[in-house]
Amino acid sequence: MKFTSLSSIMGQENITHTFHIPVLGLGYSVDTPIKVSHFGISSVASIVDDEMIERMRKLHTLENGEVYVPIYSNEPDFRSRRITEYLNLMDRIVNKNFEMLRQEAFTDGSGIKRYFELLPERSPLKRRYLKMLSSNDEEEKCWIERYLRDNMQKGAIDVNIMSKVDKLNRDVHGEMLPDEYSDASAALRGFAESSLTSSLVLSAGMNPRLYNYLENFKDFYPDENGALPKKIILKVSDFRSAFIQAKFLAKKGIWVSEFRIESGLNCGGHAFATEGYLLGPILEEFKIRKQEMQEELFALYQSALLARNLTVNSRPVLKITVQGGIGTAEEDRFLLDHYEVDATGWGSPFLLVPEVTNVDDDTLKNLTEAEHDDYYVSNSSPLGVLFNNFKRSSAEKQRLDRIAAGRPGSPCKKKYLVSNTEFTTEPICTASRQYQHLKIKQLQEIQPRPDDFEAQLNLITEKLCLCDGLSASTLLKNNLLRSRENKAVSICPGPNLAWFSRVCSLDEMVQHIYGKVNLLAKGNRPNMFINELNLYVEHYKKDMDLNAQKLNEKKKKYLQKFSDQLFIGIDYYKELIPKLLNQTEAYREEMIGQLKKIEMDLRGYQPEII
């Protein structure tokens, strides 16, 4: 079977927005597509917590006048089916809202006018819209109106799976189910069997079992027209890992349609310090090697498709986007223009936009009143990966209260993050009361007591229940939390949110992204690259101090490489700063001064052990 050119199908010009809203926790953006897709804004919903998703499905089903038929947890393949039905529901709602909006008159206050007013000035659709407004020729205005309606685009309803959240499951009789019923595989199947034409965002590294499972679904392969009904986006933190994962998939005939580059530390959710690789040099490598990478991937992809009796002659589009710590329109525009990325991601700031995300009133108030040191990188995640935490969250308060009461840890009900088998045959979660009780008992039995006993104890009790915590706010805001369920809210904004200080509307946030208003709190916010560099230096120092007394050869090499990469990044930014032509000379000079200060500080922090 021979396909037509993919470039004509998939290489369309970006005529709507140049940003997307990334996934936010488990529930903060779970229904964001319903709220923004009809305005042409793409967003990502997590499909990890099927229990919370099922409640949201009931809410939106009834709100839209449809009949809700529950899917119970004792039914076969309930997790996958819940996700499929929820995604199908979102697809129907977005399509309905979009078609209603398209039919509206261009009158003041109408949704269709709001659609075009939200667009950036560089959008060709926005330029046509402005021409229509200024035209005095009624025939021309009517023609442009028809053109605008015909060319409007919905925002994508993309979904996210954390690859490592992939527990194996048992049936109602306690028998182990096959691999395709693991948490991540069932979620993937839920998306693959949905009516959506959108993308699956895979994050948190490579999971071979999950990646292999993609081969089972035809929608990830080109259809008879050469189009991909469902696409793959990889969230990545460096070029090397991105290339490795994409080659693995290309050899199976699975094309990666986008690399979503995320700052290692200047982001929300889980954080990956990337051995000192900074965002600027990472983006530079993607820019320089993009063509080389595309050609190698396409050769592997073509060969794999030929083995399936499929032929493609034109290379599919591979987009590069970036997210993590972007705070101003100038930074956004520089990323788009200098690094030639296709779009940017704005996540944490949308936590302050109630019409877009699910943040309960108390947490929203705490976010607006927060200081910079309320945002910190922690070891709170049971996954054993650094996690951006918020000191004022009710979940953090509850964790400390439980420790004070002599009952550290959380009840473990959803079990999405169970992985530890140190004390049990069945995996348990390191944030659970069961694990922490056993681990603390083990620590207390060590004689003589370790000098770092308190530090080890804190590492045990620092773990936080994220399964409940990252969904609680969504259930609270929508009045879906049941009696006796935990109300404690975990939230994981990126440190960049500290510079935003008030609740705002969707229109205001979009205007901020495009430089029409300024939502930043008063204060001299450093450039996003400087912010990230400071976070990396702080992380390096903390790691150095933690390991100073017990430094083995492997850790020594790691810290040396980390330090070397920081200095490489600093040298890179020295050359980059003069190219920030959309900033003032005073801004660039201040940035150079900040860079020199960081470099001096880092050079003064090079112990003899390194």
pLDDT per position as a tens digit, 328-383: 999 999 999 999 999 999 999 999 999 999 999 999 999 999 999 999 999 999 99
Beta pairing partners, 387: 270, 378
pLDDT score for 607: 61
How many CB atoms are closer than 10 A to CB 81? 18
pLDDT score for 2: 37
State yes or no: pLDDT of 10 exceeds 50.
Answer: no
CA distance 262 to 277: 12
CA distance 225 to 15: 22
**Rg, C-alpha atoms of the chain:** 25
Query: At what angle are helices 329-338 and 506-513 packed, to 10 degrees?
Result: 50
CA distance 524 to 512: 17
Structure confidence at residue 1 as a pLDDT band (50, 70, 90)? very low
Question: Phi, psi (5° rounding) for residue 524?
Answer: -90, 90
Structure confidence at residue 524 as a pLDDT band (50, 70, 90)? confident
Question: Phi, psi (5° rounding) for residue 174?
Answer: 90, 5
Closest by CA to 327, choosing from 532, 605, 79, is 532
Per residue in 254-271, pLDDT (tens digit) is 999 999 999 999 999 999
Helix (H/G/I), strand (E/B), else coil: 269: coil
What average pLDDT does the structure give for the chain? 94
Strand runs (DSSP E) across 255-323, as ranges?
Answer: 256-262, 270-271, 319-323
State yes or no: pLDDT of 9 exceeds 60.
Answer: no
Per residue in 339-354, pLDDT (tens digit) is 999 999 999 999 999 9
Q: Please classify residue 78 by burial: count the beta carbons closer than 10 Å to its beta carbon, then call 0-12 exposed, 13-18 middle and 19+ buried.
A: middle
Say if residues 540 and 559 touch (Cβ distance below 8 Å): yes
Q: What is the DSSP letter of 71?
A: -
Start-end of H helices in 204-270 = 208-213, 239-250
What do you get for the CA distance between the two ends of the chain, in Å? 59
Per residue in 392-442, pLDDT (tens digit) is 999 999 999 999 999 999 999 999 999 999 999 999 999 999 999 999 999
Structure tokens at 351: 């936590």
Strand runs (DSSP E) across 187-303, as ranges?
Answer: 199-203, 231-236, 256-262, 270-271
Using DSSP bridges, classify how beta strands 270-271 and 386-390 pair: parallel, antiparallel or unpaired. antiparallel
- Residues ≥6 apart with Cβ < 8 Å to 326: 332, 335, 344, 345, 346, 496, 528
Of the CA atoms within 13 Å of residue 416, those in its CB half-sphere come to: 28
CA distance 75 to 68: 16
pLDDT score for 224: 87
| pTM for the whole structure | 0.95
CA distance 500 to 507: 16
Helix (H/G/I), strand (E/B), else coil: 530: helix
- Residues ≥6 apart with Cβ < 8 Å to 135: 141, 144
CA distance 328 to 192: 36
pLDDT score for 273: 86
